[in-house]
């Protein structure tokens, strides 16, 4: 340890040597020239340099200067100042981060007063000099009876200031994470804070880290501002020495070297953390330690994802999916946890009853009416496909069923219960815990753009909701997750991050993820629209087999053939209303409405080009 430090000192000394020579060549002489001996130094004598000395004396002067500098670096007086700077900076950084996170979330709030307060705080703190803030805290607060000591003032002052800056860095990080990540987490019943902690922040870290490292380094150095409130940190102490012996060069070089050592530690920590949060570098399980991954550099054997063609699914039989869905242990556990008396029924046993009922559903975004009075019901075990041109409100309807968005009018029940609403009198009020309500509804959702959690492996994606929302034991969740991944033919990709998988593979992982919560209803929002044509088949195959298990499903799709083969009923929507509905043979085979006919002609021409 000691030898490491010496090495560091020598290296930094070596860097400073040329500077020192320049300093000695300073024609104005005076205190720029280091003392001849340590005795001179400690006696505070001022040596007015004898200029124009020969090369030998110049060299010895440089060496002497270096020696002095190293002595100053090791002096307890300066080290105490260093420690103080570190204590203040680290405490203030922790406080600033916590407060900054709160402010960032306030800034992102949809509630104007909350947003406004955070904006005002950041505007004020960023806009006023930190020195004045410190003086105010130290010298003005006693007037109202709050007397903080020097150290507390410094920590609080720097933390309050850092909060404003880190809030913006954190907010930038959060905004850099695709919004669809939060939508997916929400759809699986994850509450806002769980979503933030598990999904958003880990992905935001990569954008947040460089800025935070900057702030940390800046703060360590800026603690010198606090000398005005009697904080005797490193810079202040070095200035004090200089004002006594006027040897600014060696003393300040020593202080600079100490700062450099401190900030080097921060820089290294930054590099290590950035590696940790860098998804491109990650190869498999994120549970591997940083060190382990560090050691495996250069002999990483994980191949890039095999092309889809070489990875044809070991086609799971419906029975396999049934097993995957019906793993009794996890069902029992999660059912008990949620207080459900009954285990969801996935069979066609009572196919007569309406499971999803939409009654006069209306939704507008601003002045644009997206849904204008939808009445629809889906029976238990029924597979309904919703078709229609884009903008017809299909996706919005799915989002409303899962309460990812609020209803303007009308109501939707799933299994007889409102999702995230409470009936008070005749009106509906949003439930207090909407996330819990979504979880209780057990609605699995598959998105057009997959929306897999980018920082989690396929398996972690699948087990996230079961273990975090439904409290399933880890081992059981993993076991079932692997079963589900096998059933969609991706067991060997279980430990790959989504960006290593093809679109079709990602969508199959997304289906496994939706199935992992033992859903009573599956919603598919154009599950194949973002896929290359040759990958569509695999995904549709999985959905088809799922339909065969008796799962109640609503599928928004443009795949006419799929609808014809799989759907029990087709609903055609246009411009916010249901235009036509009925068995596929009727709606797709002999559409009555001109709008439906026109759309089908268009879609089939497109399909024909494949």
Partner 1 sequence: MRSARWLIAVVLTGAVVMTLSSPAAAKCEPEKAGANYPNLVGKKIKIAVDPSTPPYTIRDPNDFEKIVGFDADFARAVFRCVGLQLEFVSGAWSGLLPSVIAGQNDAMWSNLYYTAERAKQVDYVVYMQAGTGALVQKGNPKKLKSMDDTCGVRAAAGLGTVEEAAFRDQSKKCVATGKPEIPQVSYPDVAGGVRLVQNDRADVMLTDLALVDQLARDNPTAFERGFAVMTGFKVGVAIKKGREDLLKALGTGLKEMQADGTQRELLKRYGLDPTLQITSETLRN
Binding-site member from 11, 77, 264, 269 for partner 1 (CB under 8 A): 77
Residue 107 CA, distance from chain mean position: 17
Query: In which residue are the tokens 């382990």 written?
Result: 292
Angle between helices 318-325 and 474-487 (to 10 degrees): 160
Report how many residues bind partner 1 under the rule CB under 8 A: 38
- Our finding on whether 287 is near partner 1 (CB under 8 A) is no
* Cα gap 406→420, rounded to integer Å: 9
Binding-site member from 38, 48, 337, 598 for partner 1 (CB under 8 A): 48
> Burial of 572 by CB count in 10 Å (0-12 exposed, 13-18 middle, 19+ buried)?
buried
Provide the minimum distance between the beta carbon of 77 and partner 1 in the complex, in angstroms, as a whole number: 4
- Please list every residue from 124 through 163 that binds partner 1, using CB under 8 A: 135, 138-140, 142-143, 147, 150
- Our finding on whether 277 is near partner 1 (CB under 8 A) is no
Binding-site member from 3, 243, 367, 427 for partner 1 (CB under 8 A): 243
Binding-site member from 9, 20, 31, 517 for partner 1 (CB under 8 A): 31
**Candidates 43-51, 111-119, 348-356, 410-418 — which segment interacts with partner 1 by CB under 8 A?**
43-51
Provide the minimum distance between the beta carbon of 246 and partner 1 in the complex, in angstroms, as a whole number: 6
- Our finding on whether 53 is near partner 1 (CB under 8 A) is no
Provide the minimum distance between the beta carbon of 111 and partner 1 in the complex, in angstroms, as a whole number: 38
Single out the residue of 253, 227, 231 nearest to residue 242, CA to CA: 253
DSSP H or E segment with residue 170 = helix 150-176
Question: 358: phi > 0 → left, psi -120 to 50 → alpha, else beta; which?
Answer: beta
**Candidates 214-222, 239-247, 400-408, 531-539 — which segment interacts with partner 1 by CB under 8 A?**
239-247
* Cα gap 112→108, rounded to integer Å: 10
- Of residues 135 and 207, the one with the C-beta less far from partner 1: 135
The two tokens of residue 481 are 């997750």
Give the 3-state secondary structure of residue 248.
helix
The two tokens of residue 148 are 């903080």
- Of residues 147 and 499, the one with the C-beta less far from partner 1: 147
Binding-site member from 90, 180, 239, 348 for partner 1 (CB under 8 A): 239
Single out the residue of 183, 180, 191, 184 nearest to residue 440, CA to CA: 191
Single out the residue of 327, 394, 378, 317 nearest to residue 551, CA to CA: 378
* Cα gap 320→482, rounded to integer Å: 12
- Our finding on whether 237 is near partner 1 (CB under 8 A) is yes
- Our finding on whether 231 is near partner 1 (CB under 8 A) is yes
- Our finding on whether 227 is near partner 1 (CB under 8 A) is yes
Binding-site member from 248, 275, 283, 586 for partner 1 (CB under 8 A): 248
Binding-site member from 37, 214, 240, 263 for partner 1 (CB under 8 A): 240
Residues in CB range of 595: below 8 A, 6 or more apart = 572, 574, 579, 580
What is the binding site for partner 1 (CB under 8 A)? 26, 28-32, 42-44, 46, 48, 75, 77, 135, 138-140, 142-143, 147, 150, 227-232, 236-237, 239-246, 248
């Amino acid at each position: 340890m000691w030898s490491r430090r010496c090495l560091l000192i020598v290296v930094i000394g070596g860097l400073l040597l040329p500077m020192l020579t320049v300093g000695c060549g300073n024609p104005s002489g005076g205190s720029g020239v280091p003392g001849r001996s340590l005795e001179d130094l400690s006696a505070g004598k001022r040596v007015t340099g004898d200029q124009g000395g020969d090369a030998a004396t110049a060299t010895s002067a440089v060496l002497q200067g270096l020696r002095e500098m190293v002595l100053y670096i090791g002096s307890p007086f300066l080290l105490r100042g260093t420690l103080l700077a570190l204590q203040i900076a680290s405490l203030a950084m922790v406080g600033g981060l916590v407060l900054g996170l709160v402010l960032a979330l306030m800034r992102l709030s949809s509630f104007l007063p909350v947003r406004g307060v955070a904006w005002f705080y950041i505007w004020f703190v960023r806009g006023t000099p930190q020195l004045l803030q410190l003086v105010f805290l130290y010298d003005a607060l006693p007037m109202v009876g709050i007397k903080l000591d020097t150290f507390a003032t410094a920590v609080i002052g720097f933390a309050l200031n850092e909060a404003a800056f880190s809030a913006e860095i954190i907010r930038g990080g959060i905004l850099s994470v695709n919004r669809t990540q939060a939508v997916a987490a929400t759809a699986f019943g994850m509450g806002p804070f769980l979503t933030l902690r598990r999904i958003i922040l880990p992905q935001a870290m990569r954008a947040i880290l460089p800025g935070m490292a900057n702030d940390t380094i800046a703060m360590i150095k800026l603690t010198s501002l606090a000398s005005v409130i009697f904080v005797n940190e490193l810079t202040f102490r070095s200035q004090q020495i200089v004002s006594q012996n006027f040897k600014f060069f060696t003393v300040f070089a020593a202080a600079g070297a100490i700062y450099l050592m401190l900030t080097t530690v921060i820089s290294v920590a930054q590099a290590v953390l950035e590696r940790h949060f860098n998804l491109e570098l990650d190869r498999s399980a994120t549970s591997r330690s940083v060190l382990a991954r560090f050691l495996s550099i250069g002999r990483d054997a994980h191949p890039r994802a095999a092309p889809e063609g070489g990875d044809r699914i070991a086609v799971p039989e419906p029975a396999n999916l049934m097993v995957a869905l019906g793993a009794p242990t996890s069902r029992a556990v999660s059912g008990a946890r949620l207080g459900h008396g009954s285990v969801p029924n996935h069979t066609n046993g009572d196919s007569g009853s309406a499971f999803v009922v939409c009654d006069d559903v209306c939704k507008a975004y601003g002045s644009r009416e997206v849904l204008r009075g939808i009445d629809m019901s889906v029976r238990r075990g029924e597979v309904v496909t919703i078709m229609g041109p884009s903008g017809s409100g299909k996706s919005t309807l799915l989002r409303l069923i899962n309460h990812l968005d609020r209803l303007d009018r009308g109501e939707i029940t799933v299994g007889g219960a409102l999702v995230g609403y409470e009936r008070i009198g005749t009106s509906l009020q949003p439930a207090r815990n909407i996330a819990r309500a979504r979880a209780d509804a057990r609605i699995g959702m598959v998105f057009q753009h997959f929306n897999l959690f980018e920082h989690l492996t396929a398996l972690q994606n699948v087990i996230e909701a079961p273990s975090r929302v439904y409290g399933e034991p880890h081992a059981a969740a993993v076991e079932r997750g692997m079963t589900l991944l096998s059933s969609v033919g991706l067991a060997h990709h279980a430990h790959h991050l989504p960006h290593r998988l093809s679109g079709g593979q990602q969508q199959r992982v997304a289906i496994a993820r939706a199935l992992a919560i033992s859903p009573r209803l599956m919603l598919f929002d154009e599950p194949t629209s973002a896929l290359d044509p040759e990958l569509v088949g695999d995904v549709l195959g999985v959905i088809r087999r799922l339909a065969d298990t008796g799962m109640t499903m609503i599928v928004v799709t443009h795949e006419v053939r799929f609808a014809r083969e799989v759907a029990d009923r087709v609903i055609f929507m246009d411009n916010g209303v249901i235009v036509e509905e009925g068995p596929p043979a009727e709606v797709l085979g002999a559409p009555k409405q001109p709008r439906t006919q026109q759309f089908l002609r268009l879609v089939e021409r497109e399909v024909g080009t494949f």
